[in-house]
Amino acid sequence: MTMTRRQALHLLGLGAALSVSGCSLLGRTPLPRLLESTAPLPAPYTVPLPLPAVAKPVRTDAHTDYYELVQRQAEVEILPGLRTPIWGYGGQFPGPTIRARSGRRTVVQVANRLGVPTVTHLHGGHTPAESDGYPTDLVQPGTRRDHTFPLDQRAATLWYHDHRMDYTGPQVWRGLAGFFLVSDQEEESLPLPSGERDIPLMICDRSFNADGSMPYPARHDGPGAREAFMGGVLGDVILVNGAAWPELRVDRARYRLRLLNGSNARTYELALPAGGTLVQIGSDGGLLAAPRPLDRVRLAPGERADVIVDFAAYRVGDRVELRNLLEEGPQARVMRFAVDRDARDDSAIPTTLSRIEVLDPAKAKVTRDFQFASGDVHGHTGWLINGRPFDTGHVEARPRLGDIEVWRITSDVAHPVHLHLDHFQVLSVAGERRGGPPEWKDTVELRESQTVEIVTRFTGYRGRYVMHCHNLEHEDMAMMTNFEVI
């Protein structure tokens, strides 16, 4: 096996530190850190991949589907023979999948039967501010709140998750996340794999105590993770749809896999065994213009990639591992596909998937700069944007409704940056213009010491929204800022 220098450094655990050597600040800037399980790690590929239940509307009328999700504690078996307490929408982890339709109003009532306040945000949703899950729009224990999603947006793999100010990391870690899949006519007119061959995969890492519970290294004197984990919490067990290193039996046919990185702080570079191709058809904001065959798909926390895998390339009886190339050992494993039988396949991957409007940066009214870096937060080391910790009272940017703007974002260590309300297009990464047709994103990974330029248009709703780092420990330790669409 040949390795790039970066991969070699990574294997030594030195990737981030050495690749920025020469910058003294970074020596002190903490990186995500592994929280080791005290429970024995389970054997891989012994449990079937669970598919989250599909939520049923409690009511529908001419224009609207109504759902109710009850957040409650439950016990589930993740490690064999052990009970793991989780907090779940519907008592499930992942929560029920909502399958919604573009342009059809969807109202989700969230009832909180947990002992702590919660906030629910639809990640990737083009949502009015009052339903967007602003971090202090708390749903107190014993109360409920309606979220109205007009869904005037394209088909895409979205997800909902907790967004409570200062506590998103621990609350998502305990299980508060689920899929929200939006379809539309354009997508339905394509012969893509569907039904049982359209599979959402929520990938996240967790660690386990010997009694089966999932520890979180919370600080005792306030919100956030303990000093050692302020760079981010990594688990040593990789879960897919809430199961540890599961296996899925597949036909010799094409499957659409909706990959979501739901981890707090772990980044993946997903790949099949050598020679295996993942054909990417979609990104955070829905279909790409054309399919993109890849030998690996990189996903930072919050990012999604819809890929097609054609298992007809394998033989019945083959076992096909999906691995994370950024790791070795147990954390390099993600899940396995067991090729089970021959089957008919009427699906295809069209050479054109969608028409995507190119946002022209020359039309931008404003270019703004955002610096993501560590710094002092009320006497502790934390994470700042433009030198400030998150402050609900401070608005960093006031874009006008309808305007195109270029946002230039810089990093110290790696930060997956997420924008609420509108999807964006990436213009350049580390000074290099992005080639190829544009795609719609809502989360973009900045590697260490990078600048990324994005272009977006503020559409739909006025009001106050957030931009933040989707490393949830960074987010909780204040790496978030407000923009107000005026």
Residues of this chain that interact with ligand C2O (CB under 6 A) are 121, 123, 161, 163, 302, 418, 420, 466, 468, 470
423 binds Cu ion (CB under 5 A): no
Cβ pair 458, 397 in contact under 8 A: no
CA distances from 53 to 92, 99, 135, 158, 290 (A): 9, 11, 27, 16, 31
Q: What's the burial of 24, exposed, middle or buried (CB within 10 Å: 0-12/13-18/19+)? A: exposed
Instruction: State how far the Cα of 136 lies from the Cα of 120, in Å rounded to an integer.
Output: 11
Q: Which is nearer to Cu ion, 169 or 246 (CB)?
A: 169
447 lies in the site for Cu ion, by CB under 5 A: no
The interface partner of residue 415, options being ligand C2O, Cu ion, none and the CB cut-off 5 to 8 Å by kind, is: Cu ion
Nearest in space to 334 (alpha carbons), one of 414, 445, 241, 232: 241
**Complex with ligand C2O: residue 323 or 468, whichever CB lies closer:** 468
Least distance to ligand C2O, CB of residue 376, Å = 24
CA dihedral (434, 450, 407, 469) positive or negative: positive
Q: How far is the CB of 419 from ligand C2O (least distance, A)?
A: 9
Q: Which of 106, 112, 157, 471 binds Cu ion (CB under 5 A)?
A: 471
Binding of residue 474 to Cu ion (CB under 5 A): yes
CB of 163 to ligand C2O, least distance (A): 5
What is the C-alpha separation between 130 and 227, in angstroms, rounded? 34
Q: What's the token pair of residue 158?
A: 């979205």
Q: How far is CA 300 from the centre of its chain?
A: 7
Chosen from Cu ion, ligand C2O, none, partner binding at 256 (C-beta under 5 to 8 Å by type) = none
469 binds, among Cu ion, ligand C2O, none (CB under 5 to 8 A by kind): Cu ion
Residue 394's contacts (CB-CB under 8 Å, 6 or more residues apart) are 388, 481, 482
Task: Choose from Cu ion, ligand C2O, none: what does 457 bind? Cβ within 5-8 Å by kind.
Answer: none
CB of 233 to ligand C2O, least distance (A): 16
Judged by CB, which is closer to ligand C2O: 135, or 382? 135
Q: Is 163 in the site for Cu ion (CB under 5 A)?
A: no
Which of Cu ion, ligand C2O, none does 474 bind, CB closer than 5 to 8 A by kind? Cu ion
E strand spans, 286-331? 286-294, 297-299, 304-310, 319-324
Spatial separation of the C-alpha atoms in residues 91 and 63, rounded to whole Å: 28
- 99 three-state secondary structure: strand
Enumerate residues 106-135 that contact Cu ion by CB under 5 A: 123
Contacts (Cβ under 8 Å, ≥6 apart) of 62: none
206 binds, among Cu ion, ligand C2O, none (CB under 5 to 8 A by kind): none
Minimum Å gap between C-beta 302 and ligand C2O is: 5
Q: Does 469 bind Cu ion (CB under 5 A)?
A: yes
Q: How far is the CB of 420 from ligand C2O (least distance, A)?
A: 6
Of the pair 139, 472, the CB lying nearest Cu ion is at 472
The bridge status of strand 233-234 relative to strand 33-34 is parallel
- Cα 298 to Cα 2, 55, 307, 475, 481, distances in angstroms: 19, 29, 12, 21, 26
Minimum distance of ligand C2O from residue 394's CB (angstroms): 17
Site membership for Cu ion, residue 377 (CB under 5 A): no
- Contact set with Cu ion (CB under 5 A): 123, 415, 420, 469, 471, 474
